[in-house]
Each structure stands twice: as C-alpha cells, then as structure tokens.
Homo-oligomer: A and B are copies of this chain.
Amino acid sequence: MIGNQIVSYSVRDQDAVFRALADVSRRELLDRLFAKNGQNLGELCEGLAMTRPAVAKHLKILEAANLVVVQWRGREKLHFINSVPINEITDRWIRKFEPPYLAAISDLKSQLEGDSHD
C-alpha cells in the first residue's frame, strides 16, 4: 500500500477492472473525475441521463475495481481516480501486443515508476 492506494493487483482482480471499464457510463464517470477529481455523488450526477442510485451503483463497481477510491467528508462521499489498475492493464497489453522496441519503452516506464511487476 502507498497511502490509500493498492499498488499491485492479481490477475483475478484485473477481471473486475476490465469489466468495470466495459460500460460507457462508467468510463464517462472516470472522464468526469479526470476533469475534476474529488467530486461527490451529487456533483457526478449533474447533467447525466440517469438517476442518482444508478450513478451510485456505477461508482460502487468502479470502487470495487479500485479504479476509484473514496473519502468521506461529513455526509459527503468524495471520489478520486486511482490510476494504478489502469496502468497494470496497460502494461499487460503493451507487453503482449507491441513490437520489442515498444516493450523496451514500457520497461523504462516501469523503472521510472519503481514498479515491481508480477
């Protein structure tokens, strides 16, 4: 753990990440958090063609996949992006499907990040 964020995921957990990313509404929520991190549920609902409980469910799934971490402030639940699972998956598929010189770049990237892989 580094602060609140888990830094290494099992292959099993990666399934939750893939499935969480499969829904366009959830990707849109991540986009919104990228534009403005730390929003509460109410803010995240604004302008969406969905009810609040629906958004809450999506956020719960993102939380379960560790793509979003939360912090309570009084009665407000603030949502923050966690980029670690994304990077894990990105690494996996880069390594698998890119030509050698790109894999080398990926290795460099990992060294810069100080990751310990699998």
Spell out A's residues near B (CB within 8 Å).
15, 18-19, 21-22, 24, 27, 30-31, 34, 81, 83, 86-87, 90, 93-94, 96-98, 101-102, 105, 108-109, 112-113
Oligomer: number of copies: 2
* Residue contact B112 to A98, C-beta cutoff 8 Å: no
A102 surroundings in chain B (CB, below 8 A) = 109, 112-113
* Residue contact A18 to B21, C-beta cutoff 8 Å: yes
* Residue contact B105 to A97, C-beta cutoff 8 Å: no
Majority SS at the chain A contact face = helix
A108 surroundings in chain B (CB, below 8 A) = 105
Q: What 8 pairs between A and B have smallest CB-CB spacing? A: A22-B22, A83-B97, A19-B22, A18-B22, A86-B93, A86-B97, A90-B90, A18-B21
